[in-house]
Amino acid sequence: MRIKTKEDRRQRIKYRLRPRVRGSGERPRLTVFRSIAHIYVQVVDDATGTTVAAASSVEPAVKGAMSGGANGGNVAGAREIGRTIAGRLIEKGVKRVVFDRNGFLYHGRVKAVADAAREAGLEF
């Protein structure tokens, strides 16, 4: 795979990491995707191929909870998404996850989601 764009680079990193980052029933994979304006998080059980929970800055319920200039394109909004996904998982009885940064650098919004989820009670 030849790297021509930033997206090609991210895909290459993603495919390199994927064999090491696998989710199971007791410890599903929390994956993050960020676009320019929004951030999306979902928790996947790779053994069955099902999505356990999801949250994004596009959802009206999450958008309404954001305050103080927070939106999907900044770190404050990413923190809110991390808290939201942690709350949804704890309701379902999931406390431990595997974090998948999806080829993005562990910095900025991706790090904010992870830190907020840890503070809200998830272990990874």
Q: Kindly report, residue by residue over 63-116, the tens digit of the pLDDT.
A: 888 888 889 899 999 999 999 999 999 999 999 999 999 999 999 999 999 999
- To the nearest whole percent, how much of the chain has pLDDT over 70? 99
120, pLDDT greater than 70:
yes
Q: Tell me which residue has tokens 């800055």.
A: 57
- To the nearest whole percent, how much of the chain has pLDDT over 90? 77
52 or 1: which carries more pLDDT confidence?
52
Q: Tell me which residue has tokens 């305050």.
A: 67
| Highest CATH level, class, for 6-119 | alpha beta
What is the DSSP-derived secondary structure letter of residue 19?
T
pTM over 0.85: yes
Residue 1: pLDDT band with limits 50, 70, 90: low
Q: Where are the alpha helices (DSSP H) in 1-124?
A: 6-17, 60-65, 75-91, 109-119
C-beta atoms surrounding 34 within 10 Å = 21
Q: In the chain, what are the domain boundaries?
A: 6-119
